[in-house]
Amino acid sequence: MRSHRHLHLVPEPEPTLVIDCTVCAARASDRCDDCLVTHLVGHEEGSPVELDVDEQKAVEMLADVGLVPRSRFEPPGGATMTR
């Protein structure tokens, strides 16, 4: 009998948006009160929030209709924080 090897393609991980309040340029300002991170359920203060592509789209849709505020996160030096 002949054995067949099966190759399993593993999809590349989608980029994750990382929002880390500890490095936010607007940290401890009045902008925090109206930031998405402040309103996330289950977010542990002091730990970064990571949103995958589907979560980012969902949050954008909710923000577009005014159900949640937009993120007010400002990466230090204007850098993009994705993984």
Residue 34: left (phi > 0), alpha (psi -120 to 50), or beta? alpha
Written as six digits, the tokens of 45 are: 């203060």
Q: For tokens 């005014």, what's the residue?
A: 66
0.85 exceeded by the pTM? no
pLDDT tens-place string over residues 6-52: 666 777 777 777 878 888 888 888 887 777 777 775 667 778 888 88
Predicted confidence at residue 24, as pLDDT, reads 84
